[in-house]
Homo-oligomer: A and B are copies of this chain.
Amino acid sequence: MQRYFLESQENVITAENAYHIKTVMRMKKGDHIEVCYPNKRCYIAALTQVADVIQFQEIKEIISQNKLPEVVLIQGLPKSDKAEITTKYATQFGVSSIIFTEMTYSIAKMDPKKDDKKVDRLQKIAIESARLAHRNDYPVITYQKSISKISYEDAIILLAYEQEKTTTIKEVLGYSQSDKKIILIVGPEGGISPVELDFFTKLGAKSISLGKRILQTEIAAIYALSVIDSIYE
């Protein structure tokens, strides 16, 4: 069943979602859809009016079984279309939000003139990917110019660090509160710089290994998200 993320608690659908229901899916009055509100609650709903504005009636709540803790991904800005790959797949693998940030070894640079458009595009990819994954919510995507402007409070901080060969995610999370927010830091193509390693270590970050192979930056978070999911499943 098609799932739509609504921007308010009201029983009307407008704009792109309405276009999708009416013109792309060609749905009729009485057809069923899934709607998710900003409070992350989702319902099966029946369409009661299909026009430029779509109206519907809730039938039944969909109970989410997703018990993954909140995982915030801080991703060193990667090259070209790799931010899109990270956004698409990290969303499917349950990430709560993604902060792209320019790190020392980022080859790609942020550009205040274009960043808003890029974030908008990534946000759309995240919403579409969350819809396909049947998530009850979607991750919010943001850009931050510097790692020093991000909040790291009240979280277990995991730093994916290439030189870390032994400490696993399981070992770090095994000793922690299970409902605590997790911040996962992944460097850009060139990895984490010594200054960044020092910065994150002082914040209490634990360096973790992502297995024995070298993973490309755009997909490294997926390894961590899979393992975190399997720990909490």
Contact = CB atoms under 8 A, between A and B. Distances in A.
Interface in A125-145: 132-135
A149 interface: no
Contacts of A223: 93, 222, 226, 229
A33 B191 CA distance: 21
Interface in A79-108: 89, 92-94
A146 B39 CA distance: 46
Interface residues of A, number: 32
A212 B67 contact: yes
A14 B211 CA distance: 32
A79 to B, nearest CB: 14
A46 to B, nearest CB: 23
A216 interface: yes
Contacts of A67: 212
A66 interface: yes
Contact of A222 (B209, B226, B233): B226
A134 B168 contact: no
B227 A66 contact: no
CB-CB nearest 3 A-B residue pairs: A226-B226, A133-B213, A227-B230
Given A93-B223, A94-B212, A169-B230, 9 more contacts: A67-B212, A89-B219, A92-B214, A92-B216, A132-B216, A211-B226, A211-B229, A212-B229, A222-B226
21 contacts: A65-B212, A67-B212, A89-B219, A89-B222, A92-B216, A92-B219, A93-B211, A94-B212, A94-B213, A132-B216, A133-B213, A133-B214, A135-B213, A169-B230, A211-B226, A211-B229, A211-B230, A212-B229, A212-B233, A222-B222, A223-B229
Interface of A: 64-68, 89, 92-94, 132-135, 165, 168-170, 209, 211-216, 219, 222-223, 226-227, 229-230, 233
